[in-house]
Structure 1
Amino acid sequence: MTRPDTIRKELSKRLLSRLSTWRDAAGWRIAFSGGLDSTVLLHLLADLAQHHRLPPLSAVHVHHGLQAVAASWPGHCRQMCQILGVPFQVIEVQVRPGASLEQAARDARYAAFDEVLLPGEVLLAAQHRDDQAETLMFRLLRGAGVKGLAAMPAQRVLGRGHLFRPLLDEPRALLEAYAKEQGLSWIEDPSNKDTRFSRNYLRNHVLPMLTARWPQAIASFNRSAAHLAEAQGLLDELALQDLAQAEIPCPWPWLNVPSLELAPLEALSDARQRNALRHWLGPLTRLPDSDHWAGWNSLRDAGPDGRPIWRLADGQLHRAEGRIWWLSGIWLKDVAGSQHWSMASQPLHLPGNGMLEILGEIPRGGLHVHYRQGGEVLDVPDRGRRDLKRLLNEKGVPVFLRGRLPLLYRGEQLLAVANLPGLDADPRGDWRLHWQPPTNDHSLR
């Protein structure tokens, strides 16, 4: 039988080795639920901090309030942290109702961690080898692709910092042995036995049956997840190579809307197209499963006069002027109306549409700003009066942008169209109309 001090020394040594990459982090925050796994991680780190120079330690407990019994958990966690001398913080969250309570609680928890992490800090989570096997099985049953079957990554970006799982290669049995030998107490969540939840069913029924027949099942699942993670890494590298061919700057450098040139994507096989788009759209929106990509095919194959749109969970993909454009948030809301610009020497804030300013000598007369309604004409130097729609066609302005371009009027006369060379200034060059479009945080997250 392994001696208690041997378990502690072995775990501490492996933990310190895995954390070596993060020794210069601004701080280590421990995701502390009070359960077995996070209790062991907290105890190990507090012990290591007594003998090694580590980043500042602190613990974060997310209180969901989903069970009456959970009301006592923050107090238990606070007492444990006081004993170990680790600063402690409780964050209360509201779990949005939905089809999956498990997923909703997880989303709320990681959103809280995302908010609390400061630049350069690392959130240390205590998921272990059994959790990884469980995740792989759960995602396999849901028909996940390579990325999903890679299960939980050991590390990833989270908010302004990083998430790291230093116990992912350790079996739960070893963590429980450590906790018992060290005399630790932890919270037993009664909901973990509720097999109406899919993960609990796998944990309490399926995995024990599999390991009874194949004792190495959990280790094998983890090995498969590692192989799939490596395969996903190769797919990511391929996506970056393919996207590099499509990331040709758009003609409007002031337009802060993510976009790609379509032709290089069309030259790829269907599988490589989907791989590249998953990589590009992943930070922008939740993606459909493999059975619901018909929207991409329709957008890609639309005729040159078409205006196809692929509607996704968090926004829309538009096709215009040989490019695809990602629109979400404020870019999906129409702008309308007019504004008098009595103080044209000052920037004009456009509701839901950024800011407008005149650079140079301010033109005389009562100025006001409109948006396109149709039928507008503009005097163009050396060309005379021209229909605005035709001018926008000549400039190759995407359809989604045309209704947002601010138009400067003096009385009934259209003087300029913001940001379009040749249309945004007076003929003598005394002034120019400059528009700063709205920043769409959802498109740039």
Structure 2
Amino acid sequence: MAQSPIDLPSRLLLNLKPWRNATHWRVAFSGGLDSTVLLHLLAHLAQTHALPVLSAIHVHHGLQAAADAWPAHCQVVCDALRVPLHVVRVQVQAGASLERAARDARYAAFSSLTQADDVLLTGQHRDDQAETLLFRLLRGAGVRGLSGMPAQRALGQGSLVRPLLDVTRAELEAYAQFHQLHWIEDPSNQDRQFSRNYLRHQVMPSLTGRWPQAQASMARSAAHLREAQELLDELAQIDLARCVTPSGFAWLGLPSLDLAALAGLSAARQRNALSHWLQPLTRLPDTDHWSGWTDLVAAASDAAPVWRLADGELHRGAGRVWWLSGHWLRTPQIHDEWRDPSQPLHLPDNGHVMFSGQTPAGPLQIRYRQGGEVLELAGRGHRDLKRLLNERAVPAFVRGRLPLLFRGEELLAVANLPGLDGSAQDGWKLHWQPTGEDQGLR
């Protein structure tokens, strides 16, 4: 009989020490070797240690016939360990990479179930880390990608933790054999058309045959690169602190940065700072796509350049770069007559407007700029709206959705712009609250 890796439980407890006060530990339980060992370890540790509430989550992708039997297998294992099991069925979106689509669906399910103070535990180990490093190296990843899988990261309202990253697959197999555990062997893991399987079965054996410590060395390199990424993140925070300056258009509620401060950095530091800023907003562009940033910075001062990214757009205006997503990328619709000006008026895809002070006499309507509008100002006479917006350096992306108050064909006010937003003589102002939708935060 195989010898038990007796230090594995103590190593696992040590790795999980920062999360001992969590409300709930949820194990991502595929039924495979890694997650079976992790669940078994935790279930037995819970008998002798005060641990958070333990449960398991099995995600059923429905991608192969064999997988239909896996939820039942997982239920048998969990019943034997007296661990509650939650089976989640997901739809995998068709795409170029089935591996990535399945992973995205799986982690979307995990995220939705991870509540505040919850920890989702996954079974990735040191061999997986080495494969990840090599896989990303072959795809041309940068420092962040080559730092491998983090031991912890935010997920949903809680955290994802990988407590076995310092454990080898051989150690997990030894533990499973000693305790006579049964696990699922996914047939797709042998299909070498998938890149990771090719690396695992074809490339890694050759590497470790020549360099037995290859996987340990790769994991160590990933740790070095994680440290390098931490330094880059610290530098980005220093640089961004100079770019997050007050804006005259803070009421837009949009993330923005001072363009001059950002453009004053070296090209490498610009990319580093901007990547750090964009990371919670959108999937980051690859190296070739960064030319869009260069074009945005280099555009003429009177231009309105746009850099389109996966989940939104960067615009330039009023000396700043702005992040737009969601409703901000949809054209607002002209609204009907404002029948009850004493109540806020909802604007489709554009927030709402309301009055402060005395409500002006009607009939009133909110419209959007078409060109050629003229506003009468006290002491200045009739002024072209385009010139007034230029004087106030209103960003181009705002101009087409800035609410304009009309009475018949007379333009009475432009929301939120001091001096244009109402009548001091009659004691009223028009206020616009742009849409409160999260700006692409993921």
TM range (shorter): over 0.9
Q: Distance in 2 between matches of 1:165 and 1:429?
A: 64
* Equivalent residue number for residue 39 of structure 1: 36
Q: Distance in 2 between matches of 1:133 and 1:443?
A: 32
Contact 1:258–1:443 (8 Å) recurs in 2 = no
How many residue pairs match? The answer is 442
Asked if 1:231 corresponds to 2:228, the answer is yes
Aligned counterpart in structure 2 of residue 250 of structure 1, from 230, 247, 252: 247
Alignment partner of 1:443: what SS? Answer: coil
1:180-201 per-residue CA deviation (whole Å, 9 max, x = no partner) reads: 1111110000000000001000
1:129-148 per-residue CA deviation (whole Å, 9 max, x = no partner) reads: 00000000100111110000
Q: How does 1:211-360 map to 2 (within 5 A)?
A: 211-360=208-357
What is the one-letter code of the residue matched to 2:159?
H
Per-residue deviation, 1:388: 1.0
Alignment partner of 1:30: what SS? Answer: strand
Alignment partner of 1:264: what SS? Answer: helix
Q: How does 1:174-193 map to 2 (within 5 A)?
A: 174-193=171-190
Q: Distance in 1 between matches of 2:76 and 2:426?
A: 71
What is the one-letter code of the residue matched to 1:322?
G
Per-residue deviation, 1:309: 1.1
TM-score (norm 1): 0.97
* Equivalent residue number for residue 20 of structure 1: 17
* Equivalent residue number for residue 140 of structure 1: 137
Contact 1:257–1:443 (8 Å) recurs in 2 = no
Alignment partner of 1:153: what SS? Answer: coil
Per-residue deviation, 1:439: 2.3
Per-residue deviation, 1:205: 1.1
What is the one-letter code of the residue matched to 2:179?
Q
Per-residue deviation, 1:429: 5.6
* Equivalent residue number for residue 371 of structure 1: 368
Q: How does 1:378-397 map to 2 (within 5 A)?
A: 378-397=375-394
Q: Distance in 2 between matches of 1:442 and 1:93?
A: 26
Q: Distance in 2 between matches of 1:87 and 1:362?
A: 60
What is the one-letter code of the residue matched to 1:183?
Q
Per-residue deviation, 1:423: 1.1
Q: Distance in 1 between matches of 2:215 and 2:123?
A: 17
Q: How does 1:120-131 map to 2 (within 5 A)?
A: 120-131=117-128
Contact 1:338–1:371 (8 Å) recurs in 2 = no
Contact 2:358–2:426 (8 Å) recurs in 1 = no
Asked if 1:210 corresponds to 2:207, the answer is yes
Query: CA RMSD, aligned part only?
Result: 1.3
What is the one-letter code of the residue matched to 1:55?
P
Q: Distance in 2 between matches of 1:406 and 1:238?
A: 40
1:65-86 per-residue CA deviation (whole Å, 9 max, x = no partner) reads: 0000000001111111111111
Question: Greater shift after overlay, 166-175 or 427-436?
Answer: 427-436
Aligned counterpart in structure 1 of residue 158 of structure 2, from 136, 158, 161: 161
Q: Distance in 2 between matches of 1:283 and 1:265?
A: 19
Per-residue deviation, 1:257: 1.4
Gaps of 5+ in 2: none
Q: Distance in 1 between matches of 2:57 and 2:420?
A: 55
1:414-435 per-residue CA deviation (whole Å, 9 max, x = no partner) reads: 1111111111121226222111
Per-residue deviation, 1:442: 4.2
Asked if 1:89 corresponds to 2:86, the answer is yes
1:364-419 per-residue CA deviation (whole Å, 9 max, x = no partner) reads: 22111111111111122222221111111111110100111111112222111111
Amino-acid identity (%): 64
What is the one-letter code of the residue matched to 1:179?
A
What is the one-letter code of the residue matched to 2:211?
W
Q: Distance in 1 between matches of 2:81 and 2:394?
A: 62
Contact 1:381–1:427 (8 Å) recurs in 2 = no
Aligned counterpart in structure 2 of residue 59 of structure 1, from 56, 60, 65: 56
Alignment partner of 1:254: what SS? Answer: helix
Aligned counterpart in structure 2 of residue 98 of structure 1, from 95, 98, 108: 95
Q: Distance in 1 between matches of 2:155 and 2:35?
A: 19
Q: Distance in 1 between matches of 2:80 and 2:243?
A: 56
Contact 1:405–1:418 (8 Å) recurs in 2 = yes
* Equivalent residue number for residue 109 of structure 1: 106
What is the one-letter code of the residue matched to 2:28?
A
Aligned counterpart in structure 2 of residue 426 of structure 1, from 419, 423, 426: 423
* Equivalent residue number for residue 71 of structure 2: 74
Gaps of 5+ in 1: none
Q: Distance in 2 between matches of 1:441 and 1:323?
A: 20
Alignment partner of 1:344: what SS? Answer: coil
Q: Distance in 2 between matches of 1:362 and 1:51?
A: 70
Q: Which runs of 4+ in 1 moved over 3 A?
A: none
Per-residue deviation, 1:124: 0.5
* Equivalent residue number for residue 402 of structure 1: 399
What is the one-letter code of the residue matched to 1:405?
L
Q: Distance in 1 between matches of 2:117 and 2:127?
A: 29
Q: Distance in 2 between matches of 1:3 and 1:335?
A: 68
Q: Distance in 2 between matches of 1:198 and 1:308?
A: 38
Q: Distance in 1 between matches of 2:426 and 2:68?
A: 69
Alignment partner of 1:46: what SS? Answer: helix
What is the one-letter code of the residue matched to 2:8?
L
Q: Distance in 1 between matches of 2:59 and 2:356?
A: 51
Alignment partner of 2:26: what SS? Answer: strand
What is the one-letter code of the residue matched to 2:199?
L
